[in-house]
Amino acid sequence: MITELNKNNFYKCKSLINENGQLEGKAIIERMNPGRIFVDNPFSPKTGLIWLGNNDGFLFFGNEENDNFNKEINAFIDTVIIPEAKEVNIFWFEAMGNHPKWNQTIKNLFAHRQLKSWNQKVYQLQNNNYNVKSEPTIDQDYTVFELEKVLSENNKKQNIEFLHSKILEFWSSIEQFLNNGIGYCVIYRNQIVRICFSGFVVENYHCVNIETLSAHQGKKLAQAVAFHFVQECLKNKQIPYWDCMEENTASNIVAKNTGFTNVFDYNGYYFSFK
Task: Give the tens place of pLDDT for each residue, 16-35.
Answer: 999 999 999 999 999 999 99
Quick check: helix, strand or coil at residue 17?
coil
The reply to whether 127-265 shares the fold of 3-113 is: yes
Which DSSP symbol is given to 77?
A: I
Region 127-265: CATH code: 3.40.630.30
pLDDT at 220 over 90: no
What is the overall mean pLDDT for the chain?
Answer: 94
Q: At what angle do helices 249-257 and 221-235 cross, to 10 degrees?
A: 40
Q: If pLDDT is split at 50, 70 and 90, which confidence band does 215 have?
A: confident
Residue 153: predicted pLDDT: 79
Give the start-to-end residue ranges of the domains of the chain: 3-113, 127-265
What per-residue confidence (pLDDT) applies to 274?
A: 78
| pLDDT tens per residue across span 102-146 | 999 999 999 999 999 999 999 999 877 677 767 888 999 999 999
Helix, strand, coil percentages (3-state) for the chain, rounded to 5, are: 40, 30, 30
| 221-236 per-position pLDDT tens digit | 999 999 999 999 999 9
Residue type, 174: I
User: Does the domain made of 3-113 have the CATH classification 3.40.630?
Assistant: yes
